[in-house]
Amino acid sequence: MAASAGSLENPAQQDYEQRLIQRIGDGEHEAFYQLIRPYERRVYAAAFAILRNEADAEDCAQEAVLKAFKHIRQFRAEARFSTWLIQIAVNEARMRRRRERADFVEPIDKEKNEEGSYTPRDFADWREIPSEVLERKEVREKLAEALGSLGQIYREVFVLRDMEQLSIEETANVLGISTASVKTRLLRARLMLRDLLAPGLGGAWSSRLSFAKGTKPW
Amino acid sequence: MVVRCEDVWREVSNYLDNEVQPELRAAIEEHVRGCKRCTAVVDGTRNVIQIYGDERMVEVPLGFSRRLHQRLEGNVSGSRRSFFGWLVAAAAAVLVAGGFEAARSSVLGRPGLRSEHARASDHVPPDMMVVVAEDGKTFHVAGCPFIHDKSRLRTITAREAEQQGYAPCIRCMKKYLDAGALARSDDPVDEVAGSEDPVRKSE
């Protein structure tokens, strides 16, 4: 049960990717485009979660994809290709972040202390999400803003687990932390986001405005 | 087993990930049924997971994919290319260089897609009836909850939708997209030589 909750294991997909990788190794480099196409956006999302800047994240994503191509022979079949690719993007983004902030000492102890228990602050009722709420740009912006307000260690875990849909084990491997840390940080990230979003999405934002797209106020 | 609110808040994440023992799961469910605050916490946390897990939450800058492929061109297309490979690359270059409008023109046969997020697929049955919104980017089965603008829908065949630049909805057309990936994998399985670690240059 624990092994792959949320992880989209698909042996046939893996076989298909393995064959593409074999073809790339045999010199048919164009197969690489086919291999990465489904994951281009996820590579960007992983880079953006760490760098928080569109231009940097895009450059980082490009670099990560290039590195994946150059090192494709190092890919081991027991991992999913997507996880391996995301790991390269995460490493690349972290390296850039460190380079940028060479003179900035991370408050590691503070973040460690924050891993204790978390008490929800808001108990607004938030029963359901109408699917069309995500069609509204201002709602997506609020969600992105809430995610951006999380501390780095929580955002990384949340993005990999809940947006990239990696399993807990894969998230732990990619970030180089224990599965226990993944679970603790994930709990906190989810609860913090719920606190930030429940008052708005439970009420104000999700009620369709009279002048919302597709309807007329008159 | 009796659990308190604090226990629910500590385990809510594991509970939703199906990572708790059956006894604890039952106790949590029993508690939540009678506790308004914990109901709000569990429902809200579930909503957080669902809403951020939606593909639409990952937004890439406009032109991202095109620029990525441009950057790859010089590196990927370097050596030992087969004649067929050259043809594919040349066709890709025409598509990239020609840009969106050229790609949509009928000269090239296959139109460019309206959405940067979309995955093209040749595996949706071409005569299947689908719905499209006038300003939308994707085509759907009727009643799909991810239809962009329900007020201006047209019903056309999947073939027409693709010709007009609509891409299949990754939700309601998922089985065709997955089937497409599988249908293309017709080569024999070979073992890939691998070495020790994934690329961890930065660590």
Tens digit of each residue's pLDDT (9 = 90 or more) over B28-64:
999 999 999 999 999 999 999 989 988 888 889 999 9
> Is B134 an 8 Å CB contact of chain A?
no
- CB distance B52–A84 less than 8 Å? no
> Do residues A141 and A67 both lie within one domain?
no
> Do residues B179 and B120 both lie within one domain?
yes
Which residue range(s) make up the domain with B28?
5-53
Cα–Cα distance, A98 to A202 (Å, whole number): 38
B199 lies in some domain: no
Q: Are strands B138-140 and B167-168 parallel, antiparallel or unpaired?
A: parallel
B120 lies in some domain: yes
> Do residues B166 and B121 both lie within one domain?
yes
Overall number of domains in chain A: 2
Q: What is the pLDDT of residue A66?
A: 94
> Do residues B70 and B96 both lie within one domain?
yes
Q: For position A70, which CATH number holds?
A: 1.10.1740.10
Task: With a threshold of 0.85, tell me whether the complex ipTM lies above it.
Answer: no
B94 lies in some domain: yes
| Contact residues on chain A for B54, CB-CB shorter than 8 A | 134
> Do residues B48 and B70 both lie within one domain?
no
Q: Give the Å distances, CA to CA, from A44 to A16, A63, A93, B161, B175.
A: 23, 11, 10, 28, 25
∠ CA B174-B13-B6, nearest 5°, is: 155
A146 lies in some domain: yes
**Residue A6 C-alpha, separation from nearest chain B C-alpha, in angstroms:** 8
The residues, any chain, with a CB within 8 Å of residue A182's CB and separated by 6 or more, are A157, A161, A168, A171, A172, A175
A106 lies in some domain: no
B 6-25 residues inside an 8 A Cβ radius of A:
6, 9-10, 12-14, 17-19
Q: What is the pLDDT of residue B140?
A: 86
Overall number of domains in chain B: 3
> Do residues B76 and B119 both lie within one domain?
no
Closest by alpha carbon to A182, among A204, A159, A208, A205? A159
| DSSP symbols for B125-178 | -TT-EEEEETT-SEEE-TT-TT-S-TTSEEEEEHHHHHHTT-EE-TTTTHHHHH
* Eight-state DSSP code of residue A114: T
Q: C-alpha dihedral over A174, A176, A179, A183, to 10 degrees? A: -80
> Do residues B103 and B43 both lie within one domain?
no
Residues of chain A with pLDDT under 50: 1-8, 109-111, 113, 206, 208-218
In chain A, DSSP assigns E strands to none
Q: Which residue type does A4 have?
A: S
Tell me which residue in A67, A183, A190 faces B49 most closely, judged by beta carbons. Answer: A190
Q: Are A120 and A195 in contact (CB under 8 A)?
A: yes
Q: What percent of chain B has pLDDT over 70?
A: 63
- CB distance B57–A143 less than 8 Å? yes
Tell me which residue in A13, A186, A194 faces B181 most closely, judged by beta carbons. Answer: A13
The residues, any chain, with a CB within 8 Å of residue B169's CB and separated by 6 or more, are B138, B139, B140, B141, B144, B146
Cα–Cα distance, A147 to A189 (Å, whole number): 9
Which residue range(s) make up the domain with A52?
11-100
What's the predicted TM-score (pTM) here?
A: 0.65
> Do residues B121 and B179 both lie within one domain?
yes
Q: Of the residues B91, B112, B133, which one is the last residue of a structural domain?
A: B112
Q: What is the pLDDT of residue A180?
A: 95
Q: What is the pLDDT of residue A115?
A: 55
Residue whose pair of structure tokens reads 């939450």 in the numeric block: B57
Q: Are A168 and A5 in contact (CB under 8 A)?
A: yes
**Per-residue pLDDT for chain B (203 aa), expressed as one digit of tens each?**
889 999 999 999 999 999 999 999 999 999 999 999 999 999 999 999 989 988 888 889 999 999 999 998 877 765 444 455 556 666 666 666 555 444 444 333 344 555 544 555 557 888 888 888 877 778 888 877 777 667 778 888 888 888 888 888 877 777 777 655 544 443 333 333 333 344 544 43
In chain B, DSSP assigns E strands to 129-133, 138-140, 153-157, 167-168
User: Chain A interface, mutation test: which of B192, B195, B200, most A Cβ atoms within 10 Å?
Assistant: B192
Q: What percent of chain B has pLDDT over 90?
A: 28
B166 lies in some domain: yes
Cα–Cα distance, A166 to A174 (Å, whole number): 9
A27 lies in some domain: yes
> Do residues B126 and B173 both lie within one domain?
yes
> Is B70 an 8 Å CB contact of chain A?
no
Q: What is the pLDDT of residue A125?
A: 77
Q: Are strands B129-133 and B167-168 parallel, antiparallel or unpaired?
A: unpaired
